[in-house]
Structure 1
Amino acid sequence: MHRHFGRLLSSGDGADVTFEVGGETFAAHRCVLAARSSVFMAELFGPMKENTDASVRITDMEAKVFKAMLHFIYTDSLPPMDDEQELVVMAQHLLVAADTYNLERLKLLCVEKLCNHMDASTAATTLALAEQHSCCGLKDLCFKFLASPGNMLKAVVANDGFEHVRSSCPSVLKELVAKLAP
């Protein structure tokens, strides 16, 4: 079934809504989106309905992330990615999108990818995302990663992700310090 829905997305046949995201346009099917996401259900059919025309503008997401989210909605899988770094960055962005659109399975897939590909360059940013999007298991794993002796906390602190945590989630730093204290 996922292949059939994937072809439906690719062909655009019967599409009844378009999304404008980052200068790109995506054709989709209201009923498919609504079936997978309670947020799309409310936006497209309920009292929160954006408008009566068939075009919706999304300003808080990159086009490639929206495209990957649509791929998931139609196929129940993440799009293939060759590069590990690209996979981690996409999983971080998709985690935010999954939380925004109440796509719990996508959120779980993103958490799994982030857990399996954690390193010093991604740990701090992933920790901030885990805190902001209520991913307790991912947050705990980040703490364990950061507390382990071989992960060079100095290397983690030196990258931009740590600054992001400091500015966006200062309470998480207090938790981290408490966990690191002997």
Structure 2
Amino acid sequence: MITGRITRTILPGALGLIATGLVISAQAQSDPQGLYSARMILDADVHLASDPDTPVGEVDDILLGDDMAVHALVVESGDTLGLGGQEIVITNALYRLDTRVDEDGAITHRVVVEASEEEFAALPHYDHDWQQQARERSRAAWERTQEGAESAWQRTREGAERVGDRAGRAWERTREGAERAGDAISEALDDMTN
């Protein structure tokens, strides 16, 4: 049984490759964890805020943009709401990550969706059509806001090949452009959800 404190965080943070693997950094509402493991978030139980004790699915995938930021989660629904096995897209505006730390320091996560059962069932399904439309809208949002910046994924690889101040300046320009583009990508995906 998990006892201890519950830390609530929102997961729109940047995702990058770190020496030990894939991690997510997040903005926190209180007592931030600081660094989040994607591996620990995958398969996390998903609950509705209106019924936090009953899981409605689990995190199946984490969707990232060219800005290296998390823009949505893919949730494989359970049988609870009669959606058994359907993959549902939940954008950042609709969920929060609850982090629990037990007395031994073990960390577990769960996702809480701010939606009713009907709203959850009406969220977009993660299928080929949704992927294509989201990819096109995200690419268009990136191109509108990038102002000459390359994809943060591409720039990071190139920056790692450079040494010194030049790489730092390149990363700073990429980060600023990626933040603008990330906001536009999130807005485009939120528009698809609404």
TM-score for the superposition, normalised by structure 1? 0.25
Highest relative contact order (Cα 8 Å, sep 6+), 1 or 2? 2
TM-score for the superposition, normalised by structure 2? 0.24
- More strand by proportion, 1 or 2? 2
